[in-house]
Structure 1
Amino acid sequence: MATKSPVTGHTYTHNNNNMHNQLHNHNQGHSHDHHQDPKTTTYRERLRQAVNKSKTPEEIVSNPAAACYQPTDLIRLLAMPAHSYSAVKKAFNSRPCIKSRSRTWTPASGLDLLPKLNQGTKGTGALSAQAATRIATTTRTGNIAPSVERSKLDTQFQVGFSMAYGHSIELNMENETIKDGNAIDSGTYIFDSDELPYASVVDKDWRGKLCEECLRNLPVEDDGDAVLECRSCPRLTDGSGGGGEDLELRPAKFCSRECLELAWRTWHGYECKFMEELDQFEQDTRLALRIFWRNGQEGVRLITGEAAETNTNSIDTLTSKAAGLSLNNNNINSVNKVDEANRKPRVHSKDGSQVSIQELYHNFDRLPPKTQMALLIKAHYLQELMGLSKNAARELAQIQALVKFNSFAIKSKIYQDADGDGRICHQEEYAVGSGVYLLASMFNHSCAPNAMVVFGMHGKTSLRDGLETTPGGGDKGVDPRVLNVLTSKSLKAYGSVPTQVEISYGPTGGRMPTEERKECLRQKYLFDCNCSACNDRYAETLRKRVFKCQKGNYACRPMLGDEEECPSCGEKVDCNTRDKMMQLIAQLLGDASDPTLPLSRRLTLLKTLEVSQSRLFVDTYIIYGHTCDQLAMVYTQSGDLGQGTQWCRKALKAVMVNFPHDSIEVAQETLKLAGLLFNNQQHKEALKHVQAAIVLYRGHYGAESKEPDLLELYKMEEVLKSTIKEYY
């Protein structure tokens, strides 16, 4: 039951003449949501809610689905105590219609009209005879991409099951290495081969910049490879009938003909005609549709027959507790709602190679009724819009819930030349899309994880072979979608109790107060976390004391948010002023996080944000540390390495207070500071931080690892030792 995390924090690299170091924050996917991303914290959500009170029914349902209901109908449906598909159908006032365009939609030359998938009531959910014939024919003629070999676990790990935790990834007690009591080193890849997603989608902000199939960068004009636009995608016109100028709707773009054809056969050929309507839906809904299409092609259904109209357990008869959250009785708020069938193991292949989409946990019946109805409303609209079978809406509603609990953010590093001459550059890591991975969804959660998710260039295949050839992608470098999981700590079996391998579903311990983190997990994943990080009360108390006394400043002890007077000097807290400053900080956080801002504007916002935060918070508060890191990045991009170094020092101080000194967070920030010192030619101090970063990275990836950050640190160490020996 892994889930996506939002856009990660910014990272940067710097080049100075021949001293080229590729430094980048190695955000570890799910296992490590970057500490510098304010969007990952409920702190920011709390501030935002102070300005924006609540969403309207239309915002909950999302347009254009809401346009087919009267507002009174939406309010009534969302207020119902249990979901009812019949009520959704009755409230549907007008059928969706495709807006008029300057031409009739037809597939472009070389792209065939795909047969309609059979998504009827049959339990098999098999393809129609016509579709099966088409796939058999295209496979023989080579027009469909070869099937991708399923990933499986390394022999040192297995998919386990227990009544306490449900399904989980754990050490394989039958492996000879484990039997002999040997420890598994940190930096061990858990998957035998990198895993590709069952389905994926590019983030809307990155459409037109990345290939919509493989998520690689689109070719630039100088490369000689043209960007391929889908000529079947509808264009909005000025309505004059003369083929007016295209407006905001952008056609799907691909990096190669292979990607275009693969996307057409697997999902785009079904969605292309409706791109204008689908473009208005959120990313999770579009990902759910792509899972729906693949299910149809593979003959898979989540619902075996006619589902009940009300909120009953019958709708969940095929779900499993892939991450085991519903089976841990200490972690369930409403155990009575859990289907008894889910207390039995459903994943029967210990190596994980046979995990199917049916075995992922969608939790639909444990969602609030309002959420259930919103998913059904959107699903019914899509069913009517695209002419799907009568049970498709129920299927789509559950797939949307499955995406909510199982999707991963797909993260990629974007390189940019700050000054145009190649001398100083930076890179930022973004969540450029999301995907559902079958084997990766087997991991349980911990706020103090012992494993981390890696994507693309950090996967096992790329580090071993350098390049990867993927279906539809060709030999174009590493596929950014591939995922693997690395142990971040040494693991050893103790007695007969299996040792679980755990990742983080969101913020780890140190990124936000424990109670807020637990509430975030409770609201998003419907369980109470009682891991070791959540029970570290002493550390939690220290992290809560973030407010400065306005009279005594650092001479006084930091305060909790609910304290009405300073515990050191007795100065009364001006709550109104504090609330106003919190709202201002929330606004500045939102404005400064826009990646499209000009550098000068972003710097102005960050400086204003830092001044506001420094008046309110102590300098070890992690949110303040995030701002310092952003300032370091922006100053570096503008060529001021001195200022960049100063702000990076402050960011490292905040990280070291909030995270263990051997954590990956400290390693990442130490690497950043080492790179800045290296580029600023502060050789002796740079060497000290490079060597500290090497020790930390080895602890997470192993001494023999070929992890790019570690290899770059070795190069920097060699250059610095040589320089110091010659000139000092």
Structure 2
Amino acid sequence: MHHQRHNHSHGHGHGHDHHHDPKTNTYRERLRQAANKSKTLEEIVSNPAAACFQPNDLTRLLAMPTYDYSAVKEAFNSRPCIKSRSRTWAPPAGPDPLLKLSQGTTTAGLTAHASTKPTTTTIRRGSIATSVEHSKLDAQFRVGFSMAYGHSIELNMENEVIKGGDAIDSGTYIFDRDELPYASVIDKDWRGKLCEECLRKLPKEDDDNAVLECRSCPRLTDGSGGRGEDLDLGPAKFCSRECLEQAWRTWHGYECKFMEELDQFEQDTRLALRIFWRNSQEGVRLVIKESSETSNNNIDTLTSKAAGLSLNNINSDLNKIDEANRKPRVHSKDGSQISIQELYHNFDRLAPKAQMAFLIKAHYLQELMGLSKNAARELAQIQALIKFNCFAIKSKIYQDAGDGGRISHQEEYAVGSGVYLLASMFNHSCAPNAMVVFGVQAKTSLRGELGFASSGGRGVDPRVLNVLTSKSLKAYGSVPAQVEISYGPTGGRMPTEERKECLRQKYAETFRKRVFKCQKGSYACRPMLDDEDECPTCGEKVDRAIRNKMMQLIAQLLGDTSNPSLPLSRRLTLLKTLEVSQSRLFVDTYIIYGHTCDQLAMVYTQSGDLGQGAQWCRKALKAVMVNFPHDSIEVAQETLKLAGLLFNNQQHKEALKHVQAAIVLYRGHYGAKSKEPDLLELYKMEEVLQPIVEKYY
């Protein structure tokens, strides 16, 4: 068997970071913030919104003790960032494509708006929204509520199987059908490589189905009447006419003209806009009360609707927020009727700086796109909702590499972010009993319910999500067991640092790890915390200037190596430099160092050097085993990588040991009867290795 699968996971620690850009910025931001202790004003607000405020005004707004939307509007200056845009959009002539699409014309969506005059965006309820069948829970589960945990997913005590005392095996799908996101957005690094609507790989040039480009996307010039150079911002690309038309109906038709500005925002802000469009199409609002333009702190939240509570001056009474959040919001026990209004956004739990940053960005978008006067408040709350409910969408991308094409590897990337209504009902646990799966690992794929024929030959939608029990669950007495996922790497819900920041803000917990080496270089010295000024073992003083310089170098290298289209030789050179720098600063069990070792293993595998690949994979596995529970899916995936490398390098005895260890771990998560692709691959390797080891070793 000449097949090895290298499952290289990006975005373990994204959206999404999110929040964030779940894949690109997680480690870079972590290290940069540790070195500089704070972000610049532009990083907090994001350009181009920050350009609409004088630096002194921006500093004053972000330092205010409470959020004040009136102050944001007063300080806002649309020149030159909106009214005198330095670059122009020259649309091709043609009828309004959105009008044609709303009338059901299948050939629309390929031409641009005839007029560039700014207008107020108005969307009528139900006019162009596409109805999507809601997912619901399997009959063995339900949406529960308690004063201690709020809403959660738990065992259904009314189900005959549960009442009978039977246990639910690991590997059980919790959703009756896979869930599609309420709204999603592609990661900017994957624009031009994946479909911007469904996140599938774009067809190759020689395929029958050519890539479709939106002809309405602006041709951005330097304002010299078409004589200048175009910006490096290509049109939106889609894998099919179906995706192009769906995107135009739901989000692209509203954003197309403003691609230059929106491309400068972080992923979460672009996702917030798409939720805003869908809310508008469906007549849904989070801000339920039109408020005075002059009053401060007047954002009414969805929790006020649920609890009958006025949240004006909410920052002075957080107990009322807690009381409101402890009121039941979801009334469909099977989860099929959950709406975006029933998700927590916790805007009023955020620090005033974060609240003002959301309002500043939202007001800029309101002015830029000609939205209704209350749109900024709505967008601010949507940004907060995303912060607490966003999932990084992970997709496995396969490539051939080395050895005459006999060896293949798969890389798991966070290719986008999305908000899922039913999946947002799960609570967090650092020792979860369930895990989030996407695309080919979801229920429809493994059961053959969504093959190539039913999806137009394009395969499984990478965005579909399900949740899988990773441990056996059983009710004890009348107390239903909660089903919990990890909001961190396991679920891909958000990058680690953003998850920690959310937990800090909610629970005021401190997260500190001993990861730094003593600068004296002695192996006898114990690891240090980042805020310790001297080695606790030998007393060596920490040279902060040297440490900060190294951290900035590492941050730069992490950003450079995150580009998935980087040439192999260049990636290898950068990764070697990165590993040397990290090994001088961090202990070898630090997860960021382990991530670099994992990348090195993948690159050496691609180049055909399986021995070096296995060596670096062993180091990566060591870091993963220190940072995650011994039976976690992260340990299982890294063990599979090492087993595959050893198998293809004909290190049979060691390969069999890791194959059998990985089988035990995968069975624990997916169940012994699962047809999960990784588990089937392990069975095949065991079948080949067992007789060889028995005969020759």
- The question of a shared fold, defined as TM-score above 0.5 by the shorter chain, is answered with yes
Q: Which residue of 2 aligns with 1:325?
A: none
Question: Conserved in 2, the CA contact under 8 Å of 1:445 and 1:504?
Answer: yes
Question: Conserved in 1, the CA contact under 8 Å of 2:182 and 2:418?
Answer: yes
How far apart are residue 422 of structure 1 and its match?
2.2
CA distance, structure 2, for counterparts of residue 349 and residue 609 of structure 1: 50
Correspondence 1:36-115 to 2 at 5 A: 45=29, 47-94=31-78, 96-97=82-83, 101=88, 103-104=90-91, 112=99
Relative to structure 1, the CA distance from residue 54 to residue 528 in structure 2 (aligned partners, 3 Å threshold; closer, same or farther) is closer
More displaced, 658-667 or 18-27?
18-27
Question: Conserved in 2, the CA contact under 8 Å of 1:418 and 1:426?
Answer: yes
How far apart are residue 668 of structure 1 and its match?
1.3
Q: Which residue of 2 aligns with 1:553?
A: 523
The one of 306, 310, 315 equivalent to 2:296 is 310
Q: Which residue of 1 aligns with 2:362?
A: 379
CA distance, structure 2, for counterparts of residue 79 and residue 552 of structure 1: 44
The one of 358, 362, 366 equivalent to 2:341 is 358
CA distance, structure 1, for counterparts of residue 424 and residue 291 of structure 2: 26
Post-superposition Cα deviations, 1:182-221, rounded to whole Å, max 9, x if no partner, equal 2211111111110000111111111111111111111111
Post-superposition Cα deviations, 1:636-681, rounded to whole Å, max 9, x if no partner, equal 1111111111222222233334433322222111111110011111
Q: Which residue of 1 aligns with 2:478?
A: 496
Q: Secondary structure at the match of 1:183?
A: coil
Q: Secondary structure at the match of 1:201?
A: strand
CA distance, structure 2, for counterparts of residue 134 and residue 256 of structure 1: 23
The one of 377, 382, 392 equivalent to 1:394 is 377
CA distance, structure 2, for counterparts of residue 403 and residue 634 of structure 1: 34
Post-superposition Cα deviations, 1:504-545, rounded to whole Å, max 9, x if no partner, equal 122589xxxx9x99953434x523579xxx9xxxxx9xx737
Question: Conserved in 2, the CA contact under 8 Å of 1:201 and 1:433?
Answer: yes
Question: TM-score w.r.t. structure 1 length?
Answer: 0.81
Question: Conserved in 2, the CA contact under 8 Å of 1:33 and 1:508?
Answer: no
How far apart are residue 425 of structure 1 and its match?
3.4
Relative to structure 1, the CA distance from residue 460 to residue 664 in structure 2 (aligned partners, 3 Å threshold; closer, same or farther) is same
Question: Conserved in 2, the CA contact under 8 Å of 1:319 and 1:361?
Answer: no
Q: Which residue of 1 aligns with 2:469?
A: 487
The one of 442, 445, 453 equivalent to 2:428 is 445
CA distance, structure 2, for counterparts of residue 85 and residue 220 of structure 1: 48
CA distance, structure 2, for counterparts of residue 301 and residue 470 of structure 1: 38
CA distance, structure 1, for counterparts of residue 376 and residue 322 of structure 2: 22
Q: Which residue of 1 aligns with 2:212?
A: 228
The one of 555, 573, 591 equivalent to 1:622 is 591
How far apart are residue 360 of structure 1 and its match?
0.8
How far apart are residue 152 of structure 1 and its match?
0.4
Question: Conserved in 2, the CA contact under 8 Å of 1:518 and 1:529?
Answer: no
Relative to structure 1, the CA distance from residue 521 to residue 91 in structure 2 (aligned partners, 3 Å threshold; closer, same or farther) is closer
Amino acid at match of 2:484: E
Q: Secondary structure at the match of 2:507?
A: coil
Identity percentage over the alignment? 75
Relative to structure 1, the CA distance from residue 320 to residue 719 in structure 2 (aligned partners, 3 Å threshold; closer, same or farther) is farther
The one of 506, 522, 536 equivalent to 2:488 is 506
Is 1:636–2:615 an aligned residue pair? no
How far apart are residue 450 of structure 1 and its match?
1.3
Question: Conserved in 2, the CA contact under 8 Å of 1:210 and 1:217?
Answer: yes
Correspondence 1:326-337 to 2 at 5 A: 335-337=318-320
Relative to structure 1, the CA distance from residue 411 to residue 698 in structure 2 (aligned partners, 3 Å threshold; closer, same or farther) is same
Relative to structure 1, the CA distance from residue 68 to residue 526 in structure 2 (aligned partners, 3 Å threshold; closer, same or farther) is same
Q: Which residue of 2 aligns with 1:474?
A: 456
Relative to structure 1, the CA distance from residue 517 to residue 450 in structure 2 (aligned partners, 3 Å threshold; closer, same or farther) is farther
Q: Secondary structure at the match of 2:569?
A: helix
The one of 575, 583, 592 equivalent to 1:606 is 575
CA distance, structure 1, for counterparts of residue 382 and residue 34 of structure 2: 32
Relative to structure 1, the CA distance from residue 559 to residue 148 in structure 2 (aligned partners, 3 Å threshold; closer, same or farther) is closer
Question: Conserved in 1, the CA contact under 8 Å of 2:273 and 2:379?
Answer: yes
Q: How many residues align?
A: 659
Question: Conserved in 2, the CA contact under 8 Å of 1:152 and 1:193?
Answer: yes
CA distance, structure 1, for counterparts of residue 257 and residue 581 of structure 2: 49
Correspondence 1:638-657 to 2 at 5 A: 638-657=607-626
Question: Conserved in 2, the CA contact under 8 Å of 1:31 and 1:451?
Answer: no
Q: RMSD value over aligned CA atoms?
A: 3.7
How far apart are residue 618 of structure 1 and its match?
4.2
Amino acid at match of 2:233: L
Relative to structure 1, the CA distance from residue 547 to residue 220 in structure 2 (aligned partners, 3 Å threshold; closer, same or farther) is same
Question: Conserved in 2, the CA contact under 8 Å of 1:453 and 1:485?
Answer: yes
Q: Which residue of 1 aligns with 2:254?
A: 270
Relative to structure 1, the CA distance from residue 356 to residue 692 in structure 2 (aligned partners, 3 Å threshold; closer, same or farther) is same
Is 1:527–2:527 an aligned residue pair? no
Q: Secondary structure at the match of 1:465?
A: coil
CA distance, structure 2, for counterparts of residue 664 and residue 172 of structure 1: 26
More displaced, 157-166 or 311-320?
311-320
CA distance, structure 1, for counterparts of residue 14 and residue 229 of structure 2: 46
Q: Which residue of 1 aligns with 2:265?
A: 281
How far apart are residue 551 of structure 1 and its match?
6.4
Relative to structure 1, the CA distance from residue 263 to residue 689 in structure 2 (aligned partners, 3 Å threshold; closer, same or farther) is same
Q: Which runs of 5+ in 1 are unaligned?
A: 1-17, 116-126, 136-143, 322-331, 535-539
Relative to structure 1, the CA distance from residue 375 to residue 44 in structure 2 (aligned partners, 3 Å threshold; closer, same or farther) is closer
Q: Secondary structure at the match of 1:19?
A: coil
CA distance, structure 2, for counterparts of residue 718 and residue 46 of structure 1: 44
Q: Secondary structure at the match of 2:410?
A: strand
Amino acid at match of 2:468: L
How far apart are residue 269 of structure 1 and its match?
1.3
Relative to structure 1, the CA distance from residue 134 to residue 258 in structure 2 (aligned partners, 3 Å threshold; closer, same or farther) is same
Question: TM-score w.r.t. structure 2 length?
Answer: 0.85
Question: Conserved in 2, the CA contact under 8 Å of 1:169 and 1:444?
Answer: yes
Q: Secondary structure at the match of 1:526?
A: helix
CA distance, structure 2, for counterparts of residue 93 and residue 313 of structure 1: 23
Is 1:207–2:191 an aligned residue pair? yes
More displaced, 437-446 or 311-320?
311-320
More displaced, 420-429 or 78-87?
420-429
Relative to structure 1, the CA distance from residue 669 to residue 552 in structure 2 (aligned partners, 3 Å threshold; closer, same or farther) is same
Post-superposition Cα deviations, 1:218-255, rounded to whole Å, max 9, x if no partner, equal 11111122111111111013544357663323211111
Amino acid at match of 1:259: C
Q: Which residue of 2 aligns with 1:216?
A: 200
Question: Conserved in 2, the CA contact under 8 Å of 1:566 and 1:573?
Answer: no
CA distance, structure 2, for counterparts of residue 369 and residue 479 of structure 1: 39
Amino acid at match of 1:103: A
CA distance, structure 1, for counterparts of residue 556 and residue 91 of structure 2: 45
